[in-house]
Amino acid sequence: MNALAATNRNFRLASRLLGLDSKLEKSLLIPFREIKVECTIPKDDGTLVSYVGFRIQHDNARGPMKGGIRYHPEVDPDEVNALAQLMTWKTAVADIPYGGAKGGIGCSPRDLSKSELERLTRVFTQKIHDLIGIHTDVPAPDMGTNSQTMAWILDEYSKFHGHSPAVVTGKPIDLGGSLGREAATGRGVVYATEALLAEYGKSIEGLTFVIQGFGNVGSWAAKLIHERGGKVIAVSDITGAVKNPNGIDIPELLKHKEVTRSLKSFSGGDSMDPNELLVHECDVLVPCALGGVLNRENAADVKAKFIIEAANHPTDPEADEILSKKGIIILPDIYANAGGVTVSYFEWVQNIQGFMWDEEKVNKELKRYMTQAFHNIKNMCKTHNCNLRMGAFTLGVNRVARATLLRGWEA
């Protein structure tokens, strides 16, 4: 089942639990606006090349739309639609005043030079500058984009609208980016894990963790879990997988990865089959990489007691059922990885006020939001007698539905 079908299914189940009006339900699913633009740029050798860029703005009942821009060869409209919708529910679960959006350009960033990427980003911004904005739609980095991409968008947008640092988040610190943004998603994952474990009278210290994906999110989560006394016993990424039953020395692994750009031949552990990683014996499994990694093929063999969905949509609905039957507790992605968008919100707030926070305040506020959201989800679970995924979805959908009704959607 693809991401869009799964998200729609979760939305419909939540909508049934909440008893939403069928017309309202249909209206909430349809995106507010879909934008598709042609971006033609001269390559470094002088030849012209065209790319298709788009932005899906899903819902703005609770505030400006928010979501990443990805540069990727297979930017599939269906997937982007699902991710835009997911952002609507995610911002509502975190209780930040945004709606959802997502966008991208169908290109291979690895095959483009830096100056070609800059030209492409500027042309894309020229095409959509009147459809994004501080109080309309605030983009952020995603796959294949980074703080430099945001700097170019900011500069190009500002040519039309005057200096507007709040038009994008995930910016470089020197241009109004927030301290703590880099680590935010991984740190949020850890705060979410702490909130969940506290419900079961446990803490991170002394438990064993397996982490799939060692990019931004996975490496920060691993580092913070290690600092809190958790034993990270296996880690994998695209380059390979490493295990150590006594716990991997994460700072050493980070150094090794920085030097060799790979997890292979790390002296502090043994290499293992990356496919075995997800079914490795552990207390907590944290998928931080791709969607759909837990499916009906491997779900029955998962040995973890808790799964923290740091990636978007790592668990197939079929796997969901198998895992639930086994009594495995799944902390859903729309809550677990909301740390990134929460600190993006803090960045936007700081830019609008023209007053920047220190990192301690950013992390303290992030912890407050993540902890509060967890308790709100638990309350929805009690009200509707459902699992954490449905608790999160009913919480998010209910907030958006209430905002929509209060604004008078039928008028």
Q: How far is CA 279 from CA 4, 282, 284, 306, 366, in A?
A: 26, 9, 11, 12, 31
Are the beta carbons of 211 and 286 closer than 8 angstroms? yes
SS3 392: helix
Looking at the fold, whether 63 and 184 belong to one and the same domain comes out as no
Q: What percent of the chain has pLDDT over 90?
A: 83
376 is in an annotated binding site: no
Structure confidence by residue, pLDDT tens digits, 26-84? 999 999 999 999 999 999 999 999 999 999 999 999 999 999 999 988 887 888 888 89
- Whether residue 5 lies inside any domain: the answer is no
Structure confidence by residue, pLDDT tens digits, 250-307? 999 999 999 998 888 888 889 988 888 989 999 999 999 888 889 888 899 999 999 9
Are the beta carbons of 256 and 271 closer than 8 angstroms? no
What is the spatial distance between Cα 404 and Cα 401, in angstroms, rounded to a whole number? 5
325 is in an annotated binding site: no
- Whether residue 4 lies inside any domain: the answer is no
- Whether residue 315 lies inside any domain: the answer is yes
pLDDT at position 238 is 87
Buried b (16+ CB within 10 A) or exposed e, 372-403: ebbebbbebbeebebebbbbbbbbbbbbbbeb
Per-residue pLDDT, averaged over 214-220, amounts to 91
Residue 134 sits in a domain whose CATH number is 3.40.50.10860
Residues labelled as active-site residues = 102
Residue 375 sits in a domain whose CATH number is 3.40.50.720
What is the spatial distance between Cα 60 and Cα 100, in angstroms, rounded to a whole number? 7
- What domain range is 371 assigned to? 178-354+363-410
pLDDT at position 221 is 96
Radius of gyration from C-alpha coordinates of the chain = 21
- What pLDDT band is residue 242 in, cutting at 50, 70 and 90? very high
Which of 101, 62, 98, 89 lies closest to 6 in space, CA to CA? Answer: 89
Structure confidence by residue, pLDDT tens digits, 73-120? 888 788 888 889 999 999 999 999 999 999 999 999 999 999 999 999
Structure confidence by residue, pLDDT tens digits, 167-196? 999 999 999 999 999 899 999 999 999 999
What is the spatial distance between Cα 88 and Cα 101, in angstroms, rounded to a whole number? 7
pLDDT at position 353 is 97
- Whether residue 18 lies inside any domain: the answer is no
Confidence check: pLDDT of 1 > 80: no
Domain-ending residue, one of 123, 144, 176 = 176
Which structure tokens are listed for 314?
Answer: 């790592």
Q: DSSP character for 263?
A: S
Phi, psi of 230 (to 5 degrees): -80, 150
Which of 166, 96, 106, 109 lies closest to 138 in space, CA to CA? Answer: 166
Confidence check: pLDDT of 164 > 60: yes
List alpha helices for 94-183, DSSP H: 114-128, 147-161
Looking at the fold, whether 368 and 249 belong to one and the same domain comes out as yes
Which residues, including other chains, have CB under 8 Å from residue 44's CB and lie 6 or more apart? Answer: 113, 115, 116
pLDDT at position 88 is 97
382 is in an annotated binding site: no
pLDDT at position 411 is 53
pLDDT at position 317 is 87
Are the beta carbons of 151 and 186 closer than 8 angstroms? no
185 is in an annotated binding site: yes
Which residues make beta-bridge pairs with 331? Answer: 308
| Residue given tokens 């709606």 in the structure block | 99
Looking at the fold, whether 237 and 378 belong to one and the same domain comes out as yes
What is the spatial distance between Cα 308 and Cα 174, in angstroms, rounded to a whole number? 33
Comparing 55-64, 231-240, 355-364, which segment has the lowest mean pLDDT? 231-240
Looking at the fold, whether 127 and 238 belong to one and the same domain comes out as no
Looking at the fold, whether 76 and 219 belong to one and the same domain comes out as no
SS3 280: coil
Phi, psi of 81 (to 5 degrees): -60, -45
Which residues make beta-bridge pairs with 102? Answer: 56
Domain-ending residue, one of 176, 204, 227 = 176
Looking at the fold, whether 225 and 274 belong to one and the same domain comes out as yes
- Whether residue 392 lies inside any domain: the answer is yes
Q: How far is CA 80 from CA 2, 86, 335, in A?
A: 11, 10, 19
Total of domains in the chain? 2
Phi, psi of 241 (to 5 degrees): -140, 150
Per-residue pLDDT, averaged over 305-310, amounts to 96
- Whether residue 372 lies inside any domain: the answer is yes
Domain-ending residue, one of 133, 149, 176 = 176
pLDDT at position 77 is 81
159 is in an annotated binding site: no
pTM: 0.93
Looking at the fold, whether 205 and 257 belong to one and the same domain comes out as yes
Are the beta carbons of 288 and 209 closer than 8 angstroms? no
Looking at the fold, whether 52 and 98 belong to one and the same domain comes out as yes
Per-residue pLDDT, averaged over 186-215, amounts to 95
Looking at the fold, whether 182 and 169 belong to one and the same domain comes out as no
Are the beta carbons of 407 and 99 closer than 8 angstroms? no
The rounded mean pLDDT for the chain is 94
Sign for the CA dihedral angle at 344, 350, 356, 359 comes to: negative
Confidence check: pLDDT of 2 > 90: no
Looking at the fold, whether 280 and 168 belong to one and the same domain comes out as no
- Whether residue 166 lies inside any domain: the answer is yes
- Whether residue 92 lies inside any domain: the answer is yes
Are the beta carbons of 57 and 33 closer than 8 angstroms? yes
Looking at the fold, whether 221 and 369 belong to one and the same domain comes out as yes
Looking at the fold, whether 139 and 205 belong to one and the same domain comes out as no
